[in-house]
């Protein structure tokens, strides 16, 4: 694979979004370091194996963390979408929503948390566990004496801490191991407009409204556009809350109804809601989000999560999204 990751035309759009400090980094090295970040997510290679053409691997890693904390990658995506909207090439007539899981490598485990953060999370989890217990503790319910057992309490504390670390890292357990789930929205040209990252076991339907809430297309004048004309999704997003949210905005729902929901509605007779219909022709275009998922996962660092912190993986998603937008943008540049 060639070590040159960007063309001169693509760099002209990316360069202005990278902050330059008073004493560094040197402008001529910014492009090398940014290409090093692209190489890392595109190949999924370890940082220490980074080619010398991008500079020292530690410098590239530190620069990536600085850009991540400054929100550079998210701002880059928003800026490219705004520039495309200025040309009138952003199509929000139909937005498709779906999700995909990313298997977590064992390097992604073991996120570092400060001791005060862990203590606060443990106290909150303990209070939540006490509030859920009804009719006494486990020992009282089984008829055993509720005597103090330090070893048992220590085992519970360790298990609770492991669950809290996974929750903070947005990692969920499944049959295949630890996973994260990416909820995303795509326009009609297979370009991403919103991302939400959750643990792998998170359901799709509860993330429908948060994904829509992240759609934001800045216009040259006026307020940013946050409401598409229609939203397409599979049966997993068919719920009363999601349909009510779309009617309130108002947005056309292109979501088929589940068979059990239709059966329950018919069972209620006249007390049931109206049948939920959808445009079958528009629903055929929902495959745009499937094509977008394939584009995202063409980068190995996105298909498999190697990052410990969810912020780093989300920054990689925004970087991949920006490259999709900039490839489409430069393709139409005269």
Instruction: Clarify whether residues 209 and 302 are in a common domain.
Output: yes
Instruction: Clarify whether residues 256 and 122 are in a common domain.
Output: no
Where does the pLDDT of residue 267 fall: very low under 50, low under 70, confident under 90, or very high at 90 and above?
confident
Instruction: Clarify whether residues 127 and 163 are in a common domain.
Output: yes
Cα 170 from chain centroid?
10
Three-class SS of residue 327?
helix
What are the structure tokens assigned to 307, written together? Answer: 């990052």
- In this prediction, residue 27 carries a pLDDT of 66
Instruction: Clarify whether residues 209 and 294 are in a common domain.
Output: yes
Enumerate residues 6+ apart whose C-beta is below 8 A from 285. Answer: 94, 96, 188, 232
Residue 207 falls within a domain, yes or no?
yes
Name the CA dihedral angle for 17, 3, 66, 293, rounded to a multiple of 10 degrees: 80
pTM of the model: 0.85
Instruction: Clarify whether residues 154 and 226 are in a common domain.
Output: no
Q: What is the mean pLDDT of the chain?
A: 84
Q: How many residues does the chain have?
A: 334
Instruction: Clarify whether residues 123 and 196 are in a common domain.
Output: no
Instruction: Clarify whether residues 213 and 163 are in a common domain.
Output: no
pLDDT tens-digit map of 160-205: 767 777 777 788 887 778 899 999 999 999 999 999 999 988 999 9
pLDDT tens-digit map of 297-331: 999 999 999 998 899 999 999 999 999 999 988 87
Q: Residue 282 is part of which domain span?
A: 71-106+176-331
Where does the pLDDT of residue 1 fall: very low under 50, low under 70, confident under 90, or very high at 90 and above?
very low
User: Angle at Cα 288 formed by Cα 262 and Cα 90, nearest 5°?
Assistant: 115
Residue 210 falls within a domain, yes or no?
yes
Instruction: Clarify whether residues 156 and 286 are in a common domain.
Output: no
- If one counts the domains in the chain, the total is 2
Where does the pLDDT of residue 121 fall: very low under 50, low under 70, confident under 90, or very high at 90 and above?
low
């Amino acid at each position: 694979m060639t070590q040159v990751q960007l063309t001169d035309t693509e760099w002209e759009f990316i360069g202005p979004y990278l902050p330059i400090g008073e004493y560094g980094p040197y402008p001529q090295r910014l492009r090398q370091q940014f290409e090093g970040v692209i190489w890392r997510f595109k190949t999924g290679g370890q940082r220490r194996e980074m080619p010398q053409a991008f500079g020292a691997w530690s410098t590239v890693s530190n620069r990536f963390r600085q850009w991540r904390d400054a929100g550079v990658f998210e701002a880059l995506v928003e800026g490219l979408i705004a520039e495309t909207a200025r040309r009138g090439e952003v199509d929000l007539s139909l937005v498709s929503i779906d999700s995909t899981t990313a298997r977590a490598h064992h390097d992604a485990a073991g996120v570092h948390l400060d001791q005060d953060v862990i203590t606060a999370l443990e106290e909150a989890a303990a209070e939540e566990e006490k509030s859920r217990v009804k009719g006494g503790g486990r020992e009282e319910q089984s008829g055993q004496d509720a005597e103090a057992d330090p070893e048992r309490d220590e085992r519970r504390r360790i298990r609770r801490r492991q669950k809290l670390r996974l929750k903070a890292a947005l990692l969920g357990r499944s049959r295949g191991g630890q996973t994260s789930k990416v909820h995303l929205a795509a326009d009609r040209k297979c370009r991403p407009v919103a991302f939400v990252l959750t643990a792998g076991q998170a359901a799709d339907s509860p993330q429908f409204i948060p994904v829509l809430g992240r759609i934001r297309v800045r216009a040259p004048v006026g307020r940013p556009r946050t409401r598409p004309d229609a939203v397409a999704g599979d049966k997993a997003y068919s719920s009363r809350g999601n349909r009510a949210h779309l009617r309130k905005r108002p947005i056309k729902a292109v979501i088929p109804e589940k068979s059990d929901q239709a059966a329950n509605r018919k069972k209620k007779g006249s007390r049931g809601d109206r049948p939920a219909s959808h445009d079958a022709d528009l629903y055929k275009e929902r495959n745009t989000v499937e094509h977008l998922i394939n584009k995202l996962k063409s980068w190995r660092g996105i298909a498999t999560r190697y990052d410990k912190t969810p912020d780093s993986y989300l920054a990689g998603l925004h970087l991949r999204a920006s490259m999709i937008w900039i490839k489409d943008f430069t393709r139409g540049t005269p």
